[in-house]
Amino acid sequence: MLRASLGNPTPQTGLQWFLWLAFVFIGGWVGLAKDPPEVPQPLLLEDLAVDQVFEVDIKLDLKGELRLNTAKGMEKLPTEAKGHHHYFERMLNLGDTPHSTGPSRVARYYDKAQALVVAAGEKTERSLRDTRRIFLIQRTKEEFVTFCPEGPLTRSEQELTTDQFDTLAVSGLLPGNKQKSGDPWKIPNATVQKLCHFEGLIEQDLKGTMEKVSGEKAQFRVVGKASGIDQGAQVKAVVEAAGTFDFPTKTITDLLWKQTEERDAGPVNPAGTLSSTLTLKRIRIKTPASLSDKVMEELPGEKEDIPLHLLAIEHKDAKGRYELVHGRNWQIVAETNDHMVLRLLDRGDFIAQCVVTPWDKALKGNHMAPEDFRAAMNKTPGWRPEKELLADEIPGTEGRFIYRIAAQGKMDGSEVIQHFYLVASATGEQVVVTFTMTPRLVEKLGARDLNLIGGLLVPAMAPK
């Protein structure tokens, strides 16, 4: 009995031992032949399709300082801004790179777009008119163009809708494949250029990482530096961002984007240091009435050329002495009671400066004589005319009188060419417009001075 219990198995104990041995052997062999199964990694890619609609809410908080060179030396001006956008956008055409630069054509309806800007203690409030709510965003050649089919925009309306954070490019923050927690991926150059709001990208090293996956959400992070060109000036930016990807809807639903930038002085903006915090919320919704199929049918077709007046900016003098519709490449850099200064940028290059000056009113049906106009222009402070290149009257519409003088000379010692225009109405109101450029840039200016004069109405139309 003792020996049997110690070493001689009974039929029952022998069977149990054999089954145990088989389990261990087979299990061990399988374990040696196969690695333990990996935990499946989630796919980080947005699902984009034509006619999908997103509801988007953006809040912006910006603070910093602008630095101006004045007669007293460097002057620092504190600047801050707060903005709030809420809109719906419908995908109309995805194009070739929807996950980096965004869909190639989108319809957008704003029910809110407003900003409060405080610069050097002066407050400026910006918002959209009720007649400027629906917009089309589409790619023409190599750039996105934002315009309202209902008419031209004011400068503040263009800044609110074109210079805002580009939510169409947020898909590019995702790697588009499966990622393990902690593994980095590089953010595409096209995405960085759009989200950092650069006209041109110089370099960038933004990388994303997946922080964690919890239930139906993935938390990711984006950090890095980027430098580029904006309005002809170099900008160096540091980015720290955190986002949430929702797996059921395959959508980036939340994004916190922090950007600190150092801006060099440019042709239209001073140097400065700015820090901004942007909060984005974004969800998929059913098509609202404001972006219905019927509304889409009434919008300009994608293959149609965009009417030039829809790409223009309209500006009205505060005292109603004139109003001006001009191309978007003309940037207003200063405005006082006596004049308005614009500068023409072409792909970031400074081409010419324009000064609009309301002049003394003449008697009804009269205007300044050409010889008096020439004498007045020759007395411009700092201007030494050397050679008159052209002097002629240009046919004007609606009873306007337009006279032009082109001359070469020196302005504060520098060789320049100036085009002087006198624009007078039949009721006697007069405005003088002066274009200044270096001789080598006259050809680049082309007919854009005449185009601007064609959009000048003297006096401004009475409010409707």
* DSSP per position, 326-381: EETTEEEEEE-SS-EEEEEEETTEEEEEEEEEEE----TT----HHHHHHHHHTST
Q: What percent of the chain has pLDDT over 90?
A: 77
CA-wise closest residue to 115 among 61, 48, 176 = 61
Block residue for tokens 């790619």: 139
For residue 105, the tally of other CB atoms under 10 A from its CB is 19
pLDDT tens string 260-272: 999 999 998 999 9
The DSSP 8-state label assigned to residue 279 in this structure reads E
Predicted pLDDT of residue 120: 78
Q: State whether residue 431 is helix, strand or coil.
A: strand
Residues 426-438, mean pLDDT to the nearest whole number? 97
CA-wise closest residue to 456 among 248, 355, 315 = 315
Are the C-beta atoms of residues 325 and 314 closer than 8 Å to each other?
yes
Backbone angles phi, psi at 439, to 5 degrees: -55, -35
Q: State whether residue 11 is helix, strand or coil.
A: helix
For residue 31, the tally of other CB atoms under 10 A from its CB is 10
CA-wise closest residue to 88 among 311, 283, 300, 302 = 283
pLDDT at 139 over 50: yes
Residues 339-367, mean pLDDT to the nearest whole number? 95
Q: Domains (ranges, CATH) in the chain?
A: 53-297 (2.30.230), 311-457 (3.40.1000.10)
Predicted pLDDT of residue 72: 79
pLDDT at 433 over 70: yes
Q: What is the dihedral of CA 266, 268, 273, 276, to 10 degrees?
A: -130
Q: Indicate the pLDDT class of residue 306, thresholds 50, 70 and 90.
A: confident
Report the alpha-carbon distance of residue 257 to residue 242 in Å, rounded. 7
Q: Which two tokens stand for residue 282?
A: 């974004």
Block residue for tokens 């519409």: 397
Q: Indicate the pLDDT class of residue 141, thresholds 50, 70 and 90.
A: low
* Higher-scoring residue by pLDDT: 78, 7: 78
Strands 105-119 and 73-93: antiparallel
Q: Cis check for the bond before 459: say yes or no (omega within 30 of 0).
A: yes
Block residue for tokens 């034509």: 50
pLDDT at 333 over 50: yes
Report the alpha-carbon distance of residue 110 to residue 134 in Å, rounded. 6
pLDDT at 17 over 60: no
Whole-number average pLDDT of the chain: 89
Predicted pLDDT of residue 461: 82
Give bridge partners of residue 237 from the DSSP assignment: 226, 261
Predicted pLDDT of residue 320: 94
The DSSP 8-state label assigned to residue 269 in this structure reads S
* Higher-scoring residue by pLDDT: 31, 189: 189
pLDDT at 56 over 90: yes
pLDDT tens string 196-214: 999 999 999 999 999 999 8
